Amino acid sequence: MNSSTDTIAGSWLRNPVATPCKQSRELALARQQQLTKPPGSLGRLEQLAIDFAGFQKTPVPQLKHPVIRVFAADHGVVAEGVSAFPQAVTAQMVHNFVAGSAAITVLAQQQGADFAVINLGTAEPMGEIPGLVNVQIAAGTENFCHMAAMTQQQMDIALAVGRDSCVDQPMDCFVGGEMGIGNTTSAAAIFCALLGTEADDIVGRGTGVDDAGLQRKRLAVQQGLDLHCKADTDPEEILRCLGGFEIAALVGAYIGHAQRGVPSLVDGYISTAAALLACKISPSLADWLLFSHCSAEAAHGLVLNTMQVKPLLNLDMRLGEGSGAGIALSLIRSSLLLHTQMATFAEAGVSES
């Protein structure tokens, strides 16, 4: 994996993103209307097939090469007492991912997905571990209550790692997961900064903090907003000041893959923060994003409604890791199989009316 940045740091973020193929979408819609079912009777499964026809530039798309990448990093804002778990858990979960024992690894195996874990900066050094891509930009971000979470150079590296995380391999759908104690606090701050919402409306319990911990999270988010954000603060600066290395990697992945013509299936609360940032930086990217589920984390539904997107599932999940998107891959696979393998009325000799 090439994690180098461009000569002009971040200049690639605004490279053009093509529109999904309109002709293939129209042909897929026409096929849907000829399949042996009442029109629209498969609901959103029909729309998924049409979307993938546009992505793949063919009226009969297939899901053959899903790719899952989990980005891990720690957050300096944990020093404010915002998490129910210690930072050591981030590195421990990275070991669990590599061992194939976490929820997302089970789902990756089920889907036959190409899977890898990328460490961008845990508080506890990981060293060289078989199966781990170890970038280690720093031992986590800085505490955004007192200074910017990242330097410009650190952010550029993380963005480029995400962009290059799946280079030179077949891929027809990207799923990005994340692991980082404290990252719901960072995501909440990003949502507040981008949407102009109040911290009390956005900050949730994350890993399960008690009432005192929830209050500390809200205070930390507000302190970060007061320190770093004004009405005209651009999205890249919001990411640099309030984000995490793993969130930046997701932003880079969503933009980079869309520029290559590959759709991304967005997971939950943290991934949606990255997707919102990515869309603010590159608005045409929105055509290449699908949202897998509505998290049980407070305010995720509010954010999705504000973004005017409808998730595929609502299962009260709040694990992260890409797990909700891993489940949603099954829906996409079913959608495309129905679209390509069902008979048309003519083929089946069934009357259309």
What is the rounded distance in angstroms from the CA atom of residue 261 to the CA atom of residue 288?
8
pLDDT of residue 7: 40
Q: Which residues are the active-site residues?
A: 321
Q: What are the domain boundaries of the chain? A: 21-61+338-348, 66-333
Overall average pLDDT of the 18-46 stretch: 97
Overall average pLDDT of the 71-79 stretch: 98
What is the pTM for the complete model shown? 0.96
- What's the CATH number of domain 21-61+338-348, 3.30.450.20, 1.10.1610.10, 3.30.70.20, 1.10.10.10? 1.10.1610.10
| 3-class SS of residue 177 | strand
Task: Give 109-137 pLDDT, tens digit per residue.
Answer: 999 999 999 999 999 999 889 999 999 99
- The residues pairing with 121 across neighbouring beta strands, listed in sequence order, are 73
CATH number of 66-333: 3.40.50.10210
Cβ-in-10-Å burial (0-12, 13-18, 19+) of 284 comes to middle
- Alpha-carbon separation of residue 257 from 71, 99, 108, 165, 187 (angstroms): 16, 27, 19, 10, 22
66-333 and 21-61+338-348 share a CATH fold: no
Task: Give 81-105 pLDDT, tens digit per residue.
Answer: 999 999 999 999 999 999 999 999 9
- 298: DSSP letter: T
